[in-house]
Amino acid sequence: MRANQRITELAGLRGVHSAFQWLHLQEQRLLAWQMEMLRIPAPPYKEEHRAAWVRDRFVELGLEQVQIDAEGNVLGELPGEVRNGPVTMLSAHLDTIFPDEMLPEPRLEEGRVYAPGAADNVAGLTGLLAVAAAMKAAQLVPAHTILFAANVGEEAEGNLRGMRHLFFRSEYAGRIRSTICLEGAGTENVVVGAIGSRRLQATITGPGGHSWTEAGAPNPIVVLSKAIAAMERIKLPRQPRTTWNIGRIEGGMSVTSVPERASCLIDLRSVDMDQLISLEVQVHRALEDAVLEANDDAGDRRLSLHVATIGDRPAGTLSTEAALLETIHAVDRHLRLRTELRIGSTDANVPLALGREAIAVGAGGIAGGIHTHSEWFDPAGRELALRRVLLILLDAAR
């Protein structure tokens, strides 16, 4: 059966109409969930309190096999007619970029939520609970089991550890056939390409000393600056798009000291793994050459270089022939939405790099100030986006 016909028939089912009706009537419940989650800090590696809250909601909603796995992901199943076969996963990440002490009380003003993490990704988590609740209320039974996952470690230092666990070490690793990640706000966007990244911490150390008596000693800050200037001369391709950035520089003690240490954080990105590897090699060479040049005349006052990998995200692309992509286009035609295909760095990176079918989509509403203290979320249009997610999910689990 063609995708357009499948979606038309699916949308006409009584159970699906009941699920749509639940979404239409329960916006106040969704806002309440959102406000509760925003009061629970969840920086990378400290998601356990928010995870416990989500686990309790999974139990209340009646999902089965509810658990917090060894990595901290919250999992729950909606069993399908085929119980032990492949599963379709709907996920949303638990973590935010904000440390515990940076969480002010969330505010709800004129229907808009103001709080760090309100959109990224508490909006996604709210959508995850909403779809599970709507399906349970409508007593929908998919053909194949749906795995609901509130996963850890999507942001920054988390390095996709939750998704890596699910696809490499969990009991579901070989069973996940397709993945739909809920990421922030939006209704028409679909991430189908995974931006690969390498995140490095480069540290140069030396003997240091007093700025007068040790004048001429190799200066880690100066040498690091020369390396960064050399990186600026690296020629990057326009296609496939490849970028680099220095996000932070640290070092030194005072204006009268030759520093003993200088370090920086480097973000390398590309949609093509070969280009990403090439860029990483050139960045290493720039750092090594700068240190070698400084050590040529340093005598016994030599500098040392250490480069640590602090993040590694694989690249990948959803095939244009993927069944999941066909489903998305059919659902969007049915709902009269414009499909906006995008690339991004999301939880979908892991399955896409493995050649699995995966996408990341918004959970509805509009948002601004992402990753700042001024982040806000407006749920206007959330219902339509969640109808979209529900239809994609049901067809993927057919």
Banded model confidence at residue 375, pLDDT cuts 50, 70, 90: very high
> Helices in the chain by DSSP H: which ranges?
3-11, 14-25, 27-38, 48-61, 122-137, 161-168, 220-232, 273-295, 323-335, 349-353, 382-396
The per-residue pLDDT for range 273-299, each reduced to its tens digit, is 899 999 999 999 999 999 999 999 878
One-letter amino acid for residue 145 of the chain = T
d(CA 141, CA 11): 14
Average pLDDT over residues 87-94: 98
- As beta bridge partners, residue 209 has 258
Q: Is the pTM of this model over 0.85?
A: yes
Residue 100 has pLDDT above 90, yes or no: no
Banded model confidence at residue 102, pLDDT cuts 50, 70, 90: low
The per-residue pLDDT for range 131-190, each reduced to its tens digit, is 999 999 999 999 999 999 999 999 978 899 999 999 999 999 999 999 999 999 999 999
The per-residue pLDDT for range 226-237, each reduced to its tens digit, is 999 999 999 999
With a CB cutoff of 8 Å and minimum separation 6, the contacts of 69 are 75, 165, 166, 170
Banded model confidence at residue 113, pLDDT cuts 50, 70, 90: very high
- As beta bridge partners, residue 329 has none
| Residue 106 zone, left/alpha/beta (φ > 0; ψ -120 to 50; rest) | beta
DSSP-derived letter for residue 102 is G
- As beta bridge partners, residue 357 has 178
The per-residue pLDDT for range 337-350, each reduced to its tens digit, is 999 999 999 999 99
The per-residue pLDDT for range 311-339, each reduced to its tens digit, is 999 999 999 999 999 999 999 999 999 99
184-211 b/e (C-beta count within 10 Å ≥ 16 → b): bbbbbbbbbbbbbbbbbbbbbbbebbee
